Amino acid sequence: MIFRLDERLLFPDPALAEEDGLLAIEGDLSPERLQLAYQNGIFPWYSEGEPILWFAPHERFVLYPDELRVSKSMRQIIRSGKFTVIFNQSFADVIKACADTKREGQNGTWITADMQQAYIRLHQLGIAHSVEVWLDDVLAGGLYGVAVGKVFCGESMFSKVSNASKLALIALCQTKKYQMIDCQVYTEHLESMGARMISRDEYMVTLKK
């Protein structure tokens, strides 16, 4: 059953989500609703022209920083010092770059103008964060997401230079701030770095801690 949200600040039980994870539609992207969503393992994901769609997948693709695998080639790149990694200094630039990045199998972007503004507000409130990778004073890659306690809910990443987004993820893991990074969408390269599927129940146990 797909629930229709109204002005009340609440969500249905995430366990009631459809097989594909779709739980509810409509509502808004206010900071209060977004915070409540992430605290309950729910996130918005929709395309321009659609109502807001809220998902609570039955399985989560996550990376535990202690299980991070860094390849020999990436260790060499880190040691080279050619990239500079900075946190939370260019959030708006990172989310725009993520929105502008063309992705295989996708027409357009789900990071709409409204989504960008909503997450910029979360960043201004200290809830959403970015990792920026610079090469010769040019933003080469990065990622952004939402922090819920010691869980980092990754929203999107981009690379304009090979390996820049991987470096951003490695830097995020090395901060030791988070017990778990929610990668949301399966990719082979994240799996190669140690990410794996867990059940929603296992995910919620860590989230609620």
What are the helix (H) ranges across 102-174? 113-124, 164-174
pLDDT in tens, 16-44: 999 999 999 999 999 999 999 999 999 99
CATH 3.40.630.70 assigned to 61-208: yes
Higher pLDDT, 47 or 61: 61
Q: pLDDT value at position 106?
A: 54
Answer for the pair 166, 189: CB distance below 8 angstroms, yes or no: yes
> What is residue 159's predicted lDDT score, i.e. its pLDDT?
95
pLDDT for res 116? 97
Q: In this structure, is the dihedral angle defined by the CA atoms of residues 53, 56, 61 and 67, taken in order, positive or negative?
A: positive
3-state secondary structure of 200: helix
Tell me the pLDDT tens digit for each residue of 90-146: 999 999 999 998 766 555 478 999 999 999 999 999 999 999 999 999 999 999 999
User: Residue 164 pLDDT more than 60?
Assistant: yes
Q: How far apart are CA 181 and CA 189, in angstroms?
A: 15
Residue 104: what pLDDT? 61
> Tokens 């929203």 map to which residue?
155
In this prediction, residue 184 has a pLDDT band, given cuts at 50, 70 and 90, of confident
Residue bearing tokens 């949301």 = 184
Task: Quote the CA–CA distance of 85 and 142 in Å, as a whole number.
Answer: 9
Q: Which two tokens stand for residue 86?
A: 């900075």
Query: Span 171-189, mean pLDDT?
Result: 94
Instruction: Say yes or no to pLDDT of 186 above 60.
Output: yes
Q: What is the pLDDT of the chain when averaged over all its residues?
A: 94
User: CA-CA distances (angstroms) from residue 19 to 2, 16, 37, 53, 57?
Assistant: 11, 9, 19, 14, 8
Q: Which residues pair with 197 in a beta bridge?
A: 61
Cβ–Cβ < 8 Å for 51, 185 = no
- Give the fold, CATH level 3, of 3-58: Alpha-Beta Plaits (3.30.70)
Contact in structure between 144 and 158 (CB atoms under 8 Å) = no
Mean pLDDT of 184-188: 87
Domain positions in the chain are 3-58, 61-208
Burial class (CB in 10 A: 0-12, 13-18, 19+), 76: exposed
| Residue pair 17/23 in contact by the 8 Å Cβ criterion | yes
